[in-house]
């Protein structure tokens, strides 16, 4: 049996990982929905930039605590699901986000 815990990207912290490891947690899932505040000013996950290095650092931090980064979660952006005028641009950005996760070695 494995124990997985969900951690918000906005609250991701090495001390929190230490706590989860001490509690016997095996795997971490990072939730990106509230994480925009952790990016540089003016950036967000919807901008289509390559985030491979960011996600690789995230994975390395989790693994350094003896845990596995099992998944990253983000709900589909409104622009895509509601077919807003920029839905095509956001779909390309969504795909780049997924590619960044793959390059970082995150399932």
Average pLDDT over the chain, rounded to whole? 91
Q: Give the pLDDT mean for 89-94.
A: 94
pTM summary value: 0.87
- 3-class secondary-structure state, position 68: strand
Q: Give the pLDDT mean for 9-37.
A: 89
Asked if 10 and 37 touch (Cβ cutoff 8 Å), the reply is yes
Phi, psi angle pair for 71, to nearest 5°: -165, 160
Nearest residue to 11 via CA among 28, 26, 24, 23: 28
Q: What is the pLDDT of residues 32-44, one digit of tens each?
A: 887 665 677 667 8
Spatial separation of the C-alpha atoms in residues 6 and 1, rounded to whole Å? 17
Q: What is the pLDDT of residues 59-82, one digit of tens each?
A: 999 999 999 999 999 888 889 999
């Amino acid at each position: 049996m494995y124990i997985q815990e969900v951690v918000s990207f906005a609250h991701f912290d090495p001390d929190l990982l230490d706590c989860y490891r001490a509690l016997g947690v095996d795997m971490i899932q990072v939730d990106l929905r509230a994480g925009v505040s952790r990016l540089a000013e003016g950036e967000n996950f919807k901008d289509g930039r390559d985030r491979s290095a960011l996600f690789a650092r995230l994975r390395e931090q989790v693994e350094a605590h003896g845990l596995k980064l099992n998944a990253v979660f983000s709900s589909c952006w409104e622009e895509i699901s509601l077919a807003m005028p920029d839905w095509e641009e956001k779909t390309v950005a969504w795909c780049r986000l997924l590619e960044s996760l793959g390059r970082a070695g995150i399932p």
